[in-house]
Amino acid sequence: MFTHPKIRALLAVVATMLLSPTATAAEFSGIRDNGAFFSEPAKAEAGRNIAEIGRRFKKDLVVETFGAVPDDIKQGVDLRDRAAVKSMFEQWTVKQARQQNVNGIYILLSKDPAHLQVVVGNETQRTVFTLGDRDALVGTMLAKLRGKQNDAALLAGVNFVGSAMKNHALARSRGPVPTKVEAPDEKPNPWGWVIAAVLGAGAAWLVVRVIRSIFSGGGAAGSAATPGAGGGGFFSSLLGGMFGAAAGMWLYNQFSGHHGSNSEQGGGDDSESRRRDSDYSGSGDTFSDDSGGSDIGGGDSGGGDSGGGDF
């Protein structure tokens, strides 16, 4: 089947075209609990929220846990040196995010040594999850992890990410706070009283013409005053008055400086939100060495303070 060389070549080109759009997609978005940190119910709930984040904001959220640091990562690192350990986790987490082509947020948890590290992509920082959000996420999860509430740490972290992205997306859709553009000179306009007088006279003229047209018979008055005009005195007076009022408003705008320009600034191009991350910034810290105690994967799935439910 499909033995003809041209057909095989065509199929190869089509396959390449179909697969190329996914070449830049993240390898995985969800939870890899290799270190057995979380219970199955907690992972199921968090997985649903992570899927919703991907659907709504087109961003990846990867949570990956390890029972221990791989030998090739910790080689040559003094695990008793806190600064060296911190640097090791920073480099390791960025490496993981790059290898998996994460377009969003990558969370790494290690049991031995006990450490949490979070990295955020550079484009994600600019749009839906800032470095301040990253630090707040680290603080939220560390508080739970140090209290041996691993499931609560997972759920609170995932829900925090979703809420932060939602808030940033809403703020971007509304644009910057409108700013009134003030005129450089706020002195009273010397033509103001003249303009007011002209507009008042025009309004009075309009009222008089309308009343005269109504009580004088409209068409007859128009025919007598202007032979061959064909009547229509009321409507011609009304249109004339409307034209005069419009002209008066135009003159007012020109002299008063209100030329119809926009007085509010806002909006903006949102195309940068579609750019993929190419670099990452991380933050993290250690938590208690016995964090993997008997409560890991236990019954505290979200607890009462995990922020559970949909973000």
Tens of pLDDT along 200-253?
677 667 766 766 766 665 444 444 444 444 444 555 554 555 555 555 555 555
Residue 46 inside a domain? The answer is yes
The closest alpha carbon to 136, from 164, 113, 107, belongs to: 164
CA dihedral 227, 231, 234, 240 (to 10 degrees): -60
pLDDT in tens, 66-101: 999 999 999 999 989 999 999 999 999 999 999 999
Q: Looking at the structure, tell me whether residues 88 and 196 fall in a common domain.
A: no
Confidence of residue 296 (pLDDT cuts 50, 70, 90): very low
Q: Looking at the structure, tell me whether residues 57 and 132 fall in a common domain.
A: yes
Q: Looking at the structure, tell me whether residues 210 and 169 fall in a common domain.
A: no
Tokens of 35: 């270190």
Where is average pLDDT lowest: 67-76, 106-115, 154-163, 270-279? Answer: 270-279
Q: Looking at the structure, tell me whether residues 160 and 30 fall in a common domain.
A: yes
Q: Looking at the structure, tell me whether residues 159 and 109 fall in a common domain.
A: yes
Residue 220 inside a domain? The answer is yes
Q: Looking at the structure, tell me whether residues 27 and 54 fall in a common domain.
A: yes
Q: Looking at the structure, tell me whether residues 204 and 99 fall in a common domain.
A: no
Residue 303 inside a domain? The answer is no
Q: Looking at the structure, tell me whether residues 63 and 164 fall in a common domain.
A: yes
Q: Which residues, in sequence order, are bridge partners of residue 30?
A: 62
Contact between 47 and 248 under an 8 Å Cβ cutoff? The reply is: no
For residue 165, the domain's CATH number is 3.10.310.50
Q: Higher confidence at residue 216 or residue 103?
A: 103
Residue 11 inside a domain? The answer is no
Q: What is the pTM of this model?
A: 0.59
Q: What is the mean pLDDT of residues 10-27?
A: 47
Residue 292 inside a domain? The answer is no
Q: Looking at the structure, tell me whether residues 134 and 47 fall in a common domain.
A: yes
Residue 85 inside a domain? The answer is yes
Q: Which residues, in sequence order, are bridge partners of residue 61?
A: 105
Contact between 299 and 121 under an 8 Å Cβ cutoff? The reply is: no
Domain around 93: 22-176+270-286
Q: Looking at the structure, tell me whether residues 252 and 274 fall in a common domain.
A: no
Residue 280 inside a domain? The answer is yes
Q: How many domains does the chain fold into?
A: 2
Q: What is the mean pLDDT of residues 50-77?
A: 96
Q: Looking at the structure, tell me whether residues 60 and 121 fall in a common domain.
A: yes
Q: Looking at the structure, tell me whether residues 235 and 282 fall in a common domain.
A: no
Gap between the Cα atoms of 274 and 47, Å rounded: 23
Residue 294 inside a domain? The answer is no
- Quick one: the chain helix, strand, coil %, rounded to 5? 55, 10, 35
